[in-house]
A and B are shown apart, each in its own frame.
Chain A
């Protein structure tokens, strides 16, 4: 890792932005895909039918934005560190569903969320130490 831009160009900020875009797009994609599911069509396995949903198109825009942030992240941060960190989204999706949608979270799911967060901390700790030295 070499010298990097700060402010909006900070790769860690871009990683966070990328995660937020993915979080929103995942929820929209699932809803859009479900609304347009037509399993009788012989082309349904390609998923192209999902394109008739406007929600899928909004999700595609978010995916593109997250992709641009992600490319920028890849320029500066090793993939084996950036990718595990980006999966914070896997703890955020169920947590957001619990906080904002009032969905129930089972004990097993709480354990999973805890493991993801512990795993993130384990990956992030040596990175934070490395950043401090810079």
Chain B
């Protein structure tokens, strides 16, 4: 049960970030006005996903040590770098991918000890 909650908190966080980035990206468009409805939809669903993730995390913090939960948050770095490239067509250079991987491993090491 707790692993499902941890994964749910992680996935809702990643999805929320992607939705927000997509929504904020629309505001740069020359036709931003015509995207208003789409922008609001993306922003609200992004905020909803982040809110779910927030309360799931708060509930997990009441149950477990931060040092147990934090390694899973570390995974969000590499997950977001990859999913942003895949879903948002961002250019993921090898250098950024390696950097994201190093940060992920670093976060896991920091929180394990």
Contacts and interface: CB of A to CB of B under 8 A. Distances in A.
Indicate whether A and B interact.
yes
Contacts of A29: 58, 61
Contacts of A71: 20, 24
A84 B81 contact: yes
Contacts of A112: 105-113
Contact of A47 (B55, B77, B92): B55
Interface residues of A, number: 54
Contact of A49 (B56, B62, B112): B62
B110 A94 contact: yes
B11 interface: no
B102 A126 contact: no
Interface of B: 5, 17-18, 20-21, 24-25, 27-28, 50, 54-63, 66, 70, 74, 76-77, 80-81, 84-85, 88, 90-93, 95-96, 98-113
Given A37-B63, A122-B99, 19 more contacts: A2-B28, A29-B61, A37-B62, A44-B59, A47-B56, A49-B62, A75-B24, A79-B18, A83-B17, A90-B103, A91-B106, A112-B106, A112-B109, A112-B113, A116-B110, A119-B106, A120-B99, A123-B99, A124-B99
Contacts of B100: 80, 84, 119, 123
A111 interface: yes
A126 B101 CA distance: 16
B62 A47 contact: yes
Interface string A105-125: 011110111111111111111
A42 B57 CA distance: 16
Interface of A: 2, 29-30, 33-34, 36-39, 44-50, 56, 63, 67, 70-71, 74-76, 78-81, 83-84, 87, 90-91, 94, 106-109, 111-126
A107 B28 CA distance: 45
Nearest to A111: B109
Closest 10 CB pairs of A and B: A112-B109, A47-B58, A115-B106, A119-B102, A47-B59, A122-B99, A112-B110, A116-B106, A123-B99, A119-B103
A91 B62 CA distance: 23
